[in-house]
Amino acid sequence: MSLITVDSLTVQFDTDEGRITAVEDVSFAVAPGEILGLVGESGSGKSVTAKSLMRLNSDNARYAAQSRVVLHLDDRKVDVLSLRTGREMQIVRGGAISMIFQEPMASFAPAITIGDQMVEQLVLHRRISEKEAARVSIEMLERVGISDAAKRFGQYAFELSGGMRQRAMIAMALSTRPRLLIADEPTTALDVTIQAQVLDLMLELKQKVGAAILLITHDLGVVAEVAERIVVMYAGRKVEEARARDLFANPRHPYTQGLLGAVPKLGSSLEEKGRTRLSEIPGMVPNLKKPIEGCAFASRCPIATDLCRKVAPAVEAKALGHFVACHHAPREAIAA
C-alpha cells in the first residue's frame, strides 16, 4: 500500500507569455518509509511535481482534470488536488507532509524566533498547549544535535550557523511527525562535509519518526547514497523509474545514460586513459511554452528516429520494477 500516489499529474502555468506545461502526465508512488529520489535538471518539473503534493504551486498553476494526488492515511484517503481552503490543506501542509528547502536561512522568517515558528506549527497541527509545544520543540532541537537547544529556541535564524539552521529546519519539519518529508535540494547549498552530516541526520530521523522521504535533487551523488528508488524527469515528463541499484548499474533511457556519463567517477580519471573528457548531453532543454511533439528528448538523443520525433513514448516496464519512456530501450523478459 502506497503512502501517496501521483497519477497522471499535469501542471500548467498561466503566464503573460501563454500557458506553460511544467509537468506532463507524471505518475509515481511513494511507499511508507521509503526514500524516493526525484532527479532532473533545473526546469525538469521536479520541484513543481513535489510542490503539487502540498498544493504549494503559485496561484497561476492549473492542474489537469485527470490528475490525481491521493494521500493514503490510516483512516482515510485524501484527494489532495480537490482540497480548497487553507484549513483543509493543513493535512498536507505540515500535517502528513512536511517540506524542507534548499535555503534554510531564507525559509525561516527573519524577524520571528526559531522557537516561535516551531511552536506555531505544533499548536496548529497537534492541538497541544503552547507550553507543551515549546517542550516538544526544544526536545526536537536536541534530537537533531543542536547544543544548547533551549537557547537556540529563543534565537533568530540569523544567529545560527549554516549547519545549525539546516538542522533546525529539519527539526521543525519533523516535529509534527509527518508521514512524508519532501526535501527540495536539501544539500545543494552546503559544503561537502555538512552535506554528509545532513544526509545522515535525515536518514537517522527518518528511521525514528518512520517518515518516507521524497528527495528532490539534481545531484546524482546524493541520490546514489540514500535513495531506494529513483524517478528521472526530463522536460516535465517522467523518463525512467527504477530501484537505485538498477538505475545506476543499468540505465535504460538515453537521457539517464547521458546524465550518468556526465558525472565524474573516482578512479577512472586522468592517469588511466589520458585526458578523457566527461561526456555531455548535446543541445538544449526544449522550450516548454510550446507543446512538445514526440519524445521530449528526441532533439538531443543519439539514437532518436522519426518515430521518436512524432510519437511520445509511453512509460513501460522494460524489466522488473524498471520503467522507461523510450521507444528504443531494450526490454527484458519479465517473469510473471
Partner 1 sequence: MAQFIQFTLSRAVMAIVTLLTVSLIVFSLMELVPGTCAERYLAFKNTQGSQITVADIEAEKKRLGLDRPFLVRWASWVENVFVRGQFGESCILRLNINQLLADKFWISLGICLAALLAAYLIAIPVGIVSASSKSPVTNNVLRFLSYLGLAMPNFLLALIIMLFSTVMFGDSLTGLFSKEYRDAAWSWAKFGDFLAHAWLPIFILGWSATAFALQTVRALMLDEIGKLYVTAATARGIFGRRLLWRYPARHALGPVINSLGFDLNRIFNELPVVALILTLTESGALLIESLARSNDQQLAGAIIFLLTASIVFLNFVTDIMLALMDPRVRRGLMG
Calculate ∠ Cα 74-170-186, nearest 5°. Answer: 105
What is the dihedral sign for C-alpha 82, 86, 92, 93?
Answer: positive
Q: How far is the CB of 86 from partner 1 (least distance, A)?
A: 3
107 is a site residue for partner 1 (CB under 8 A): yes
Q: How far is it, in rounded angstroms, from Cα 118 to Cα 94?
A: 11
54 is a site residue for partner 1 (CB under 8 A): yes
172 is a site residue for partner 1 (CB under 8 A): yes
Nearest alpha carbon to residue 315 among 24, 15, 68? 24
130 is a site residue for partner 1 (CB under 8 A): no
Among 67, 98, 217, 256, binds partner 1 (CB under 8 A): 98
Query: Would you call 225 helix, strand, or coil by DSSP?
Result: helix
319 is a site residue for partner 1 (CB under 8 A): no
87 is a site residue for partner 1 (CB under 8 A): yes
The window from 9-17, 80-88, 210-218, 242-250 that contacts partner 1 (CB under 8 A) reads: 80-88
The window from 83-91, 138-146, 217-225, 318-326 that contacts partner 1 (CB under 8 A) reads: 83-91
The C-alpha cell at 157 is 535564524
The window from 134-142, 153-161, 229-237, 311-319 that contacts partner 1 (CB under 8 A) reads: 153-161
**Block residue for cell numbers 507550553:** 131
Calculate ∠ Cα 217-102-255, nearest 5°. Answer: 15
**Based on CB atoms, which residue is closest to partner 1, 103 or 132?**
103
The C-alpha cell at 90 is 493543513
The C-alpha cell at 181 is 518529508
Residues that bind partner 1 (CB under 8 A): 54, 56, 59, 85-87, 89-90, 93-95, 98-99, 101, 103, 106-113, 117, 120-121, 124-125, 156, 158-159, 172
